[in-house]
Amino acid sequence: MSFTIVDAIILLLAAFVPSFIYLIWIRNTERFAPEPYGRLLRIFAYGAIVSIVIAIVGELIATKLFNANIQRFYDVFGKNPNLTSLALAIVIAPLVEELAKSIGVFRLRRFMSDIEDGMIYGAAAGLGFAATENLLYEGSAFFIGGPGAFVQTAVVRSLSSALLHASASAVVGLGIARGFRKGKSWIPYYFGGVLMHGSFNLFASFGDIYSTQAGAAFIGLMAAFMIAIGGISIVRRKIRALDIQSARSGRR
């Protein structure tokens, strides 16, 4: 199958446009003094480029170091020839990726005039990461399975993975903002984002874990959708509540 410039443009648009739309949506959740687009695009670019590189290197190293122990841990799910891949998706990836995205958010601490700003910057980093990750997955689906597989993958990931990355990183961003402004530890929020991310990946992997049980993949996918959509809904409600609280306190 030949690959044209038009195909490349379609792949890029399918991967990045949903994340840009979500970025605008989350940014506009903050009614009072929303964050400037220039700053949000910078953290988006960080997530799309730097965080991806850090995550890939970190995941490769972690997989090599902890592969044996992780395989023993995942015996609870039964024997599976893809245990290493499952361990990477469910344990290593959430730990490494949420840390990789948070580095960019830490760099913007001085711009966090309010607590909710950390959530918005975290979501922006997560959406940038999701855009590049979706490009890789959707491109692979296109080359291996053709246009039909590409469309299916693009729709599913745009409605699930992109929202998951935004909400999990927003939780970490909330912790970073609280740490900067109130001197509280951000570590519990980091593990909260990791738990959300890992739970999503676990349910999304049900088709591999329980491959012999009919309906497992569908049930897992629906649960993953619920985590992603529920997570972003909670994040937006928290942003609105903190935004109103900041406005009433007279800091604006």
The 10s digit of each residue's pLDDT in 140-172 is 999 999 999 999 999 999 999 999 999 999 999
Of 64 and 53, the one with more pLDDT: 53
Whether 131 shows a pLDDT value over 60: the answer reads yes
User: What is the average pLDDT value for the chain, to the nearest integer?
Assistant: 88
Indicate yes or no: pTM above 0.75. yes
pLDDT for the residue 67: 61
Of 103 and 209, the one with more pLDDT: 103
Lowest mean pLDDT among 8-22, 60-74, 190-204: 60-74
Whether 231 shows a pLDDT value over 80: the answer reads yes
Whether 220 shows a pLDDT value over 80: the answer reads yes
pLDDT for the residue 25: 97
Query: Cα(224)–Cα(229) distance, rounded to whole angstroms?
Result: 9
Query: Cα(39)–Cα(148) distance, rounded to whole angstroms?
Result: 36
pLDDT for the residue 217: 84
Angle at 84 between CA 173 and CA 169, to 5 degrees: 10
Whether 74 shows a pLDDT value over 50: the answer reads no
